[in-house]
């Protein structure tokens, strides 16, 4: 079994994502329990604000870079110029935040946080969300998925160890956590970059040696120009959501929302596993005009990822309050409705990520900009109405804090991803399918609540009830997939082949 085949890479990526997700889940739970709820909310607000700031600086150049190196091998000059651009982004950010912005504006934007702590959050986010994606993308463009996933698992495990050590030593605080993130992902990026060097020996495509600085910049400009307004709007959209929540709801509401998003990551493990693989294969197939492969990958992967995410949601939503109380404590149970909404949100988020990757990989950036700008504009206004105080002198809102933000995310996400899917289908001449979303999500949620009600008849402790529920739910899900593989977008032949691949991978691991 080739380590560069799509099936093998997806399988290994999925398994490693499960391991990484489990480790990260434990880490998040420990941090949420060991920090008080306000400090946890502050940390998540800082990280989210700079994740938004990334959009302002990057201007979709990261998507362009990965698309270009996925299409064909690129020269050292091309790679070096892009890394110079990354360095410029970092230096510019430090200059603005460290020296140019006045104290009054910093205190307003980051709600009275210390400037040094803000700079640490910037560096940590830059390391994890700009440097690592570029470095791992370079390796992924050569189908080095397995090695990249091993590095990612090691980083995640190392972070768990560091968090535990800090707690044991009595040093678990925001500055120490941010420094740890900075160093961990920086080291991981260093090793991921080194995986790019052997690609031209294995590729049948030739590197273009006559590139000039102007031709490289022109290539990026052609790709990114339509996306620059979108990227800047994305910054205001993401930052405004989290700022309004922090300003009107406070750190505890920020903690409810942030923790719900962290739990939601569980349902996105399969999507995160295949996203870069999907992007790479679509970019290369589209560049080679293999439209049949593009259609087959998009259709099968979209429904499969939606179904997998929905199956996770069907298991988690019925137990939302119990999960929060069990894992992070009673003080977080006020966010149980937020958790339910954000779990449902992540099911459709997988569709959005696949759709966006499809457009980026095929260079349909104008379409991405048009749809994204429209919905971000609507979202900003909707977020204000959901979270603004009912007695606001400017324009009264509903004062729903984190629940309002989560409800907004769910409603607009469902509408946006379906419009995106419709445009993609129309662009490439495919039939637009939407009914499977209602069927799949409806089936798993009804099944989840029914099984919970049956289990609770036993009147046993919560943990025991959850274990029995999980056993029954997994068995029924497996039977559903076995007898009706179309539920996850596969036919019987594809299901047998994928099952054989899993068995082969497990067997090779044992030997």
User: Of the candidates 332, 358, 288, which has an alpha carbon nearest to the alpha carbon of residue 71?
Assistant: 288
**Range 143-148 contact pairs with CB under 8 angstroms and sequence separation of 24 or more:** 143/3, 143/4, 143/9, 143/280, 144/195, 145/9, 145/12, 145/13, 145/276, 145/277, 146/3, 146/8, 146/9, 146/12, 146/13, 147/195, 148/192, 148/195
What totals of helices (H) and strands (E) does the chain contain, helices first? 22, 0
Query: Are 137 and 64 a contacting pair, CB within 8 Å?
Result: no
How far apart are the C-alpha atoms of 309 and 303, rounded to whole Å? 10
Q: What's residue 199's pLDDT? A: 43
How far apart are the C-alpha atoms of 83 and 198, rounded to whole Å? 19
How far apart are the C-alpha atoms of 1 and 3, rounded to whole Å? 6
Give the list of residues 6+ apart from residue 492 with CB closer than 8 angstroms, or none: 485
Per-residue pLDDT of the chain (511 residues; tens, 9 = 90+): 455 555 566 667 777 878 888 899 899 999 999 998 999 999 999 999 998 888 888 888 988 898 888 877 888 889 999 999 999 999 999 999 999 999 999 989 898 889 999 999 999 999 999 999 999 989 887 878 788 889 999 999 999 999 999 999 999 999 999 999 999 999 999 999 988 864 444 444 445 556 788 989 999 998 888 888 888 888 888 899 999 999 999 999 999 999 999 888 878 876 777 777 787 788 888 888 888 888 888 888 888 888 888 999 999 999 999 999 999 989 999 999 999 999 999 999 888 888 888 888 888 878 888 888 899 999 999 999 999 999 988 889 999 999 999 999 999 999 999 999 999 888 888 888 888 888 999 999 999 999 999 999 988 899 999 999 999 999 999 998 888 888 877 667 766 665 665 555 445 544 4
Q: What's residue 271's pLDDT? A: 75
Q: What's residue 75's pLDDT? A: 83
How far apart are the C-alpha atoms of 254 and 210, rounded to whole Å? 51
What are φ and ψ of residue 240, in 5° steps?
Answer: -65, -40
Q: Is the dihedral of CA 222, 380, 127, 96 positive or negative?
A: positive
Q: What's residue 510's pLDDT? A: 47
Query: Are 31 and 166 a contacting pair, CB within 8 Å?
Result: no
Would you state the structure tokens that stand for residue 113, as one six-digit string? 């946080």
Q: What's residue 202's pLDDT? A: 41
How far apart are the C-alpha atoms of 181 and 313, rounded to whole Å? 29
């Amino acid at each position: 079994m080739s380590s560069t085949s799509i099936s093998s890479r997806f399988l290994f990526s999925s398994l490693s994502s499960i391991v990484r997700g489990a480790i990260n889940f434990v880490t998040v739970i420990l941090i949420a329990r060991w920090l008080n709820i306000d400090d946890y909310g502050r940390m998540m607000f800082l990280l989210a604000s700079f994740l938004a700031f990334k959009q302002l600086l990057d201007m979709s150049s990261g998507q362009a870079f990965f698309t270009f190196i996925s299409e064909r091998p690129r020269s050292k000059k091309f790679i070096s110029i892009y890394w110079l651009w990354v360095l410029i982004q970092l230096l510019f950010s430090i200059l603005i935040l460290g020296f140019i912005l006045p104290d009054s504006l910093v205190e307003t934007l980051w709600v009275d946080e210390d400037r040094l702590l803000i700079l640490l959050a910037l560096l940590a986010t830059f390391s994890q969300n700009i440097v690592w994606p570029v470095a791992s993308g370079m390796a992924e463009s050569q189908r080095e998925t397995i090695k990249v996933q091993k590095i990612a698992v090691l980083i995640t495990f190392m972070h768990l160890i560091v968090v535990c050590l800090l707690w044991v030593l009595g040093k678990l605080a925001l500055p120490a956590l941010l420094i740890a993130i900075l160093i961990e992902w920086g080291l991981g990026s260093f090793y991921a970059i080194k995986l790019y060097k052997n690609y031209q020996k294995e590729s049948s495509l030739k590197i273009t040696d006559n590139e000039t600085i102007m031709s490289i910049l022109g290539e990026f400009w052609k790709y990114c120009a339509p996306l620059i307004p979108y990227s800047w709007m994305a910054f205001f959209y993401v930052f405004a959501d989290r700022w309004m929540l922090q300003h009107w709801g406070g750190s505890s509401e920020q903690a409810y929302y942030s923790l719900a998003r962290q739990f939601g990551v569980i349902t996105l493990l399969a999507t995160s596993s295949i996203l870069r693989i999907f992007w790479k294969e679509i970019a290369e197939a589209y560049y080679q005009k293999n439209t049949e492969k593009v259609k087959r990958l998009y259709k099968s992967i979209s429904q499969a990822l939606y179904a997998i995410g929905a199956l996770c949601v069907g298991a988690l939503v019925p137990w939302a309050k119990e999960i929060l109380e069990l894992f992070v404590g009673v003080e977080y149970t006020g966010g149980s409705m937020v958790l339910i909404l954000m779990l449902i949100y992540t099911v459709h988020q997988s569709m959005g990520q696949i759709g966006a990757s499809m457009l980026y990989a095929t260079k349909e950036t104008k379409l991405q900009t048009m749809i994204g700008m429209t919905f971000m504009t609507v979202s900003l206004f909707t977020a204000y109405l959901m979270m603004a105080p009912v007695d606001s002198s400017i324009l009264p809102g509903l004062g729903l804090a984190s629940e309002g933000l989560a409800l907004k995310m769910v409603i607009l996400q469902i509408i946006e991803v379906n419009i995106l899917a419709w445009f993609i289908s129309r662009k490439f001449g495919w039939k637009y399918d939407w009914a499977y979303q209602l069927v799949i999500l409806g089936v798993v949620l009804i099944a989840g609540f029914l099984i919970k009600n049956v289990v609770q008849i036993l009147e046993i402790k919560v943990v025991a009830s959850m274990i029995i529920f999980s056993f029954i739910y997994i068995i029924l899900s497996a039977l559903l997939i076995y007898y009706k593989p179309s539920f996850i977008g596969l036919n019987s032949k594809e299901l047998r082949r994928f099952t054989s691949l899993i068995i082969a991978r497990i067997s090779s691991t044992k030997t």
